[in-house]
Structure 1
Amino acid sequence: MKLAEAYAQANVEEIKTALAGATLRIYSCAQPASPEKSVERNRFLAEFQLASPAFEGDQIKPVEETVKAQDVGVPLFVRATTPEGVTIADFSAGPGDMDVKLADVSCTNGAPVRITKFQIRLKAPHPERHLSPRDRMMGLK
């Protein structure tokens, strides 16, 4: 998870509060270096609106449990924005030890997309740092 500068000092409860009514956009393109950077190769897969409040305990509450995928691809990151469009954070997405897990490993246009796990991990290293030097050289993420 990479927090936008405006939320850099926020704790988990403050981030949960900021996510009330937020939009989660799932992408299958490279995650920008920081949440303040625009998404370059926009491979937008799906979008969730969160309820207000956005969490019930540690469980995220999307307005709709499932949404339809808008494109084909493998989710790589999720950008969270306030209802006003201000970026809160970028979350890693995919299988393995990621911030956001979906019910399926990939998305297909028109198929249902469902979030099965959503974690706010302030001190967790970015998942790509767990790759071996060989995997990094190969460009694997």
Structure 2
Amino acid sequence: MNVASEFANCSPDELKELLSGGTLTVYSVARPATADIAVDRSGVLATFTFASPAFGPSSEGAEAPCFAANPVAASTTGTPGFARARKADGTVVADFSAGSGDREIKFAEVSCSPGAPVKVVKFTIKHGDWPERPDYYGTRPRSGYPLPVAP
């Protein structure tokens, strides 16, 4: 989890309280280096709305998020790369790693297609500790570079 600087001193329980009535927006790859930077190159794949309270009791190291709906319909095609959690007023609280593999938010699906269901099946809160390399943050496609050729 990459917490916005405004909430850096909050405990996990305080962060969960902040998300009551907020949203969890799932984006394709190329997330910003910090939660304080606007998302400018990633497509919105799906948006979940947290209920109030946003979380139930934790179980076996995993959180129990409470959403107004789970699953939700995907809005575009893509592969989840991260999710941004916001308070009900739209203030960014944190970014979470998302997708398949060792991520904080795991989905039943590997990729999203418009109208297809997107379901959160696992949600964990880990301070820091992004699973990706730091040089991947904020990456952008570069035109003029050839695709790799198969041997």
Report the TM-score range of the alignment, normalised by the length of the smaller protein.
0.7 to 0.9
Equivalent position to 1:71, from 61, 72, 76? 76
Looking at structure 2, the residues matched to 46 and 107 of structure 1 have their Cα atoms a distance apart, in angstroms, of 8
TM-score for the superposition, normalised by structure 2: 0.82
- The alpha carbon displacement at 1:29 in A equals 2.8
Q: 2:65 corresponds to which letter in structure 1?
A: I
2: CA distance, partners of 1:9 / 1:112? 35
- Give distance in 2, aligned partners of 1:56 and 1:48: 16
What is aligned with 1:127?
131
Q: Does 1:81 align with 2:113?
A: no
The secondary structure found in structure 1 opposite 2:16 is helix
Indicate the structure with greater helix content.
Answer: 1
Residue equivalent to 2:5 = 5
Hey, what does 1:19 align to over in structure 2? 19
Structure 2 residue 110 is the aligned partner of structure 1 residue 94: no
The Cα of 1:97 is off from its aligned counterpart by 1.0
Deviation track 1:71-112 (CA, whole Å, cap 9, x = no partner) reads 000000000011111000000001111010011010011100
| Structure 1 residue aligned with 2:144 | none
Matches within 5 A, 1:101-112: 101-112=106-117
Q: Which residue of 1 aligns with 2:119?
A: 114
Cα offset, 1:129, TM superposition: 3.8
Would you say how many aligned residue pairs link Structure 1 and Structure 2? Answer: 129
Q: SS in structure 2 opposite 1:127?
A: coil
2:37 aligned partner: 37
Indicate the SS of the match to 2:119.
strand
Distance (whole Å) between structure 1 residues aligned to residue 111 and residue 42 of structure 2: 16
Structure 2 segments unaligned to the other structure (5+ residues): 59-63, 135-151
Residue 45 (structure 1) shift = 0.3
CA RMSD, aligned part only? 1.3
Q: Partner of 2:147 in structure 1?
A: none
- CA shift at 1:120, angstroms? 1.1
Q: TM-score, normalised by structure 1?
A: 0.88
Bigger Rg over Cα: 2
Task: Confirm or deny: 8 A CA contact 2:31 2:42 kept in the other structure.
Answer: no
Percent identity of equivalent pairs: 43
